[in-house]
Amino acid sequence: MTSAMRAPRSLLPLRLDDVVFAIGVRRVIDRVSLTLEAGRRTVIVGPNGAGKSVLLRLCHGLLQPTSGTIAWNALELPGEPRRQAMVFQLPVLLRRSALANIVYALAVARVRTEHREARAREALRKVGLDPLATHPARVLSGGEQQRVALARAWALNPEVLFLDEPTANLDPGATHEIERVIGAMHAAGTKIVLVTHNLGQARRLGDEILFMHQGRLLERASADRFFKQPASPEAAQFLEGELPW
């Protein structure tokens, strides 16, 4: 690599310091401090209303914290192509073909016009949807739509991929396929940060687990340790399938 092609400073680690996100007087996120490093797949678990999705949106910049700081290692300037991507519970695809959806995302990311289609086709191939490239995206099945959303994220070569319950609405077959793609993206070097309330999925995909409860980060542990021996009583109850009040 020549010096002119010097790699930009890595986006990670991401540091959250004393982050609070409040709606009115209710703290949806309550003083969370945390550092996310490159590499390991981070899975955020916790009961409904624990603030998992909000935490993800704060990290991705879709929400601004009420107080506290969220800082990437490299500054993301507004207007510059994003180096992080997010896949939502319900994929939002545009009324155009699957391929055109990815080409669109590449255009927003200012990828040169002549490279867009090849990159989009390659991404669709990697999620196994190249035969459906010209199909209108919105009439694909739920699982296929989510794979298009993943292909769109993959085509952007993000350093970090946030996933918010990506398989919550999918059947086991589609879920398996989505998990395969997430694993492949991780193997290709993308940091994975996944929110799920599916403990089986957390076991399958997680290297480390963040356990959230009532807006607070109660526990952070390797997946092995978390599932064998959770440190907090709330996590233990959550794992037993009880409702921790």
Binding site for another protein (CB under 8 A): 57, 60-62, 79-82, 85-86, 88, 92, 94-96, 104-105, 108-109, 136-139, 156
Nearest CB to another protein, comparing residues 155 and 218: 155
The three-class DSSP label of residue 231 is coil
CA atoms within 13 A on the CB side of 69: 6
Q: Which two tokens stand for residue 90?
A: 């319900």
Residue with tokens 């490279």: 115
Counting other chains too, the contacts that 232-236 makes at CB distance below 8 Å and 24 or more residues apart are 235/211
Minimum gap (Å) between residue 215 Cβ and another protein: 20
Q: What angle do CA 63, 65, 67 make, to 5 degrees?
A: 170
Nearest CB to another protein, comparing residues 39 and 81: 81
What is the Cα Rg of the chain in Å? 18
Minimum gap (Å) between residue 54 Cβ and another protein: 12
Nearest CB to another protein, comparing residues 74 and 92: 92
The three-class DSSP label of residue 177 is helix
Minimum gap (Å) between residue 168 Cβ and another protein: 16
Minimum gap (Å) between residue 112 Cβ and another protein: 16
Q: Which two tokens stand for residue 32?
A: 């969370």
Residue with tokens 């390659």: 122
Q: What gap in Å lies between CA 52 and CA 211, rounded to an integer?
A: 9
Minimum gap (Å) between residue 141 Cβ and another protein: 11
Instruction: Please answer whether residues 161 and 193 qualify as being in contact, where contact means their C-beta atoms are separated by less than 8 angstroms.
Output: yes
Instruction: Please answer whether residues 85 and 109 qualify as being in contact, where contact means their C-beta atoms are separated by less than 8 angstroms.
Output: no
Nearest CB to another protein, comparing residues 93 and 178: 93
Nearest CB to another protein, comparing residues 94 and 188: 94
Residues in the chain: 245
Minimum gap (Å) between residue 240 Cβ and another protein: 34
Nearest CB to another protein, comparing residues 80 and 224: 80
